[in-house]
């Protein structure tokens, strides 16, 4: 184990003032039993296998090292949407964000897994979605291992889209001050009212095949309110916030390659069906979460908690807009990371 992590660190550049062997020796096993099982290096890209004691399984964690790793750098935890990065709908596959971050002095950490789970700690195991203790993993198990293995400066921010944009706020509230900045794109923050619960059911049950009762219990269970970012918004005070949403109306990322021509090939037909589905289904979803986001804005205004809200006059629930939103959020994220040093 020591030699594996040491090789990783040596291959990705100097890490602060500690030597690779010194850091890797402390990175093996945490007090809670979580540990880095193995690692692979490809240039500045590192793939970690991290054992989660809470979930009793290994989690793949993709890491992109900073442009300059000669001194300790902060961490950006970048979560994927409802698929949890287990499918092709990822920041790396669908956007230029990972390439953009390659030019920044930040460790980008992207866990793989947690599809349809809302990255929370479930009450009990689910027959379909299994054991989900993602809040414990993301707040307690993973960060100490990442900090020791990569020699970070101990400062972190978090960003995510769709389902995971809700989780970003939940995580920030669960551990106030842990993240210096948080950005969420097209998430529905409210989950405890009947409308919000239906959003969670759509993701976890309709798309994921799970049972939300295993997550938070019956609709009247107090766990729903305890995990509702609108209800618990006070916990966001002190965190630099960026929240974005479209309206559901088609925009520049919802166009056919050639709107004047229909090329009747299988590939073209599939692509145009995909765009049509993005406009129809993605438009409805984005319109609904836009309502949620305005409710969050109203709540933060009531509490006089500062936040940057970016409401695009167009935009469906899709990656082109999340790419734009990430770039718009970068000043907030990097500002939080710099301010916390």
- How do the domains of the chain map onto residue ranges? 63-339
63-339 CATH: 3.40.50.1820
Angle between the 142-150 and 2-12 helix axes, to the nearest 10 degrees? 60
CA–CA dist 249, 151 (Å, integer): 44
Ordered DSSP codes for 65-95? --S--SS---EEEEE--TTTTSSS-SHHHH-
Residue 265 has pLDDT above 50, yes or no: no
Q: What pLDDT, on the 0 to 100 scale, is given for residue 261? A: 26
- 238: alpha, beta or left, given left = phi > 0 and alpha = psi -120 to 50? left
* Confidence class for position 6, pLDDT limits 50, 70, 90: very low
Q: What pLDDT, on the 0 to 100 scale, is given for residue 26? A: 45
Q: What pLDDT, on the 0 to 100 scale, is given for residue 24? A: 47
Residue 63's φ and ψ, nearest 5 degrees, are: -125, 135
Residue 53 has pLDDT above 60, yes or no: yes
Residue 278 has pLDDT above 80, yes or no: no
Residue 229 has pLDDT above 60, yes or no: yes
Residue 275 has pLDDT above 70, yes or no: no
Note the pTM of the prediction, 2 decimals. Answer: 0.88
CA–CA dist 214, 252 (Å, integer): 40
| Lowest-confidence region among 63-72, 140-149, 266-275 | 266-275
* Confidence class for position 228, pLDDT limits 50, 70, 90: very high
Task: Report the percentage of the chain scoring pLDDT > 90.
Answer: 75
């Amino acid at each position: 184990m020591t030699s594996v992590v040491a090789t990783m660190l040596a291959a990705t550049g100097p890490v602060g003032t500690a030597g690779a062997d010194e850091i890797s020796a402390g990175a093996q096993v945490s007090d809670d039993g979580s540990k880095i099982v193995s690692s692979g290096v490809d240039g500045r890209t590192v793939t970690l296998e991290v054992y989660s004691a809470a979930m009793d399984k290994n989690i793949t964690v993709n890491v992109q090292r900073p442009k300059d790793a000669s001194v300790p750098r902060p961490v950006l935890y970048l979560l994927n949407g409802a698929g949890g990065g287990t499918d092709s709908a990822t920041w790396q596959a669908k956007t230029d964000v990972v390439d953009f971050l390659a030019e920044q002095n930040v460790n980008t950490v992207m866990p793989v897994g947690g599809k349809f789970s809302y990255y929370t700690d479930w009450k009990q195991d689910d027959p379909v979605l299994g054991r989900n203790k993602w809040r414990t993993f993301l707040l307690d198990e993973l960060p100490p291992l990442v900090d020791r293995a990569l020699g970070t400066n101990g400062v972190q921010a978090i960003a995510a889209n769709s389902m995971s944009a809700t989780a970003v706020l939940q995580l920030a509230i669960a551990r106030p001050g842990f993240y210096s900045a948080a950005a969420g794109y097209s998430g529905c923050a409210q989950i405890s009212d009947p409308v919000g619960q239906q959003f969670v059911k759509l993701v976890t049950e309709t798309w994921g095949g799970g049972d939300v009762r295993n997550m938070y219990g019956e609709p009247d269970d107090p766990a729903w309110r305890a995990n509702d970012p609108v209800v618990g918004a006070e916990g966001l005070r002190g965190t630099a916030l960026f929240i974005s949403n479209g309206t559901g109306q088609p925009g520049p990322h919802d166009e056919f390659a050639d709107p004047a021509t229909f090329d009747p090939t299988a590939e073209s037909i599939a692509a145009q069906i995909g765009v049509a589905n993005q406009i129809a289904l993605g438009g409805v979803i984005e319109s609904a979460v836009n309502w949620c986001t305005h409710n969050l804005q109203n709540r933060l205004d009531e509490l006089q908690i500062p936040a940057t809200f970016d409401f695009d006059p167009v935009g469906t629930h899709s990656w082109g807009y999340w790419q734009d939103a990430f770039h718009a959020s970068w000043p907030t994220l990097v500002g939080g990371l710099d301010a916390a040093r």
